[in-house]
Structure 1
């Protein structure tokens, strides 16, 4: 096994591994693995490929954007050397015990919208994020997008956060249009949060160099 740092990147809902394209030029010193959940890709990362990568490495820094971080803790809660949460959360939907979450009716409306013209719900979400795709989205996987919305509605990894607090870095926007600042603070109540003065939900796209600098500094790469 090698001790050279490896970076595992996981994108959020409605994106693909191409989400990380602007970050990659700043990561040339590291071996990179881009996980593609398959929301808008006809080449999702297979479980076999993912587990093969993980089983052969012992020095992985896992970086998750938005839902991608939730996915990492859901699948691999204690596996990695360090975790990076960018524009992310420990729980997304609102409950009595998590009042800063997003009302589930919004997720239900998005789910219902996916049954209509395929690109409309995605287009509305991209508009909220301030994201313009470089090309038309063709490979839309409705079942996986629905599954992602289900995760956002039901999954909660807040109980894991205290257990990994010494190997967790949180990077968030002060005015994220998708993740309110109160949700971030409630998700990581005792964690130091690296606030970026920005109105974006897409820090890896709008501030790629800053993200990589914070990853390097806090994961001690």
Structure 2
């Protein structure tokens, strides 16, 4: 059976996937944890079906060996910052300002970001600033667009039309139209706010994998 390999985004941990995986009891699954709140955990899974949220997609493309059985990108992107050939990205200075403040107020920056994502009263008391800072710096320069388009496995991208982190324009510019499904009213936390819908889309993708 194909194993789901779930990859969280910046500021989150492996527990992010609890609600979604509870709706997929018939699937084998593993969760990557980047160590933002404790020890990192990077399982080796042969030919996984990658389920990636936000920065997790770019991270997976850069770090998880191929081949993959498939990939479900949720509120995700292969590149985040703006460039000459990706004008839909976020201005690099926004990441730079976030980095500068993070050096002095890591908990406040992390809490502010999670609140903007839609997390109510985020608990950041246990964060490890070092991997968070390193990931933030990497986020500002990563570009895995070619890697994504070179994937030979089935692909699907889910995005929310009310996402405050990844606006519609970025999603449309990041994924081929035939792969992108937009959720009316969906924010940046589709696996938490729309777990049944995400699980249904994942089952459809898995049937093709």
Compute the TM-score of the two structures, normalised by the length of structure 1. 0.88
Q: 2:11 aligns with which of 6, 10, 14?
A: 14
Q: Does 1:112 find its partner at 2:100? A: yes
Q: How does 1:27-176 map to 2 (within 5 A)?
A: 27-39=24-36, 41-46=37-42, 50-51=43-44, 54=45, 57-58=46-47, 60-76=48-64, 78-133=66-121, 136-164=123-151, 166-176=153-163
Residue of structure 2 in register with 1:201 after alignment: 188
CA drift at 1:151: 2.0
Q: 1:214 aligns with which of 188, 201, 204?
A: 201
CA drift at 1:166: 5.0
Contact 2:6–2:52 at 8 Å: present in 1 too? yes
Is there any run of 5+ residues in structure 1 with no aligned partner, and where? none
Contact 1:77–1:160 at 8 Å: present in 2 too? no
Is there any run of 5+ residues in structure 2 with no aligned partner, and where? none
Distance 1:187 1:146, change over 3 A: same
Compute the TM-score of the two structures, normalised by the length of structure 2. 0.93
Note the aligned Cα RMSD (angstroms): 1.7
Name the CA distance, whole Å, in 1 between partners of 2:152 and 2:174: 12
Name the CA distance, whole Å, in 1 between partners of 2:124 and 2:140: 25
Distance 1:181 1:189, change over 3 A: same
Contact 1:177–1:199 at 8 Å: present in 2 too? no
Name the CA distance, whole Å, in 2 between partners of 1:62 and 1:28: 17
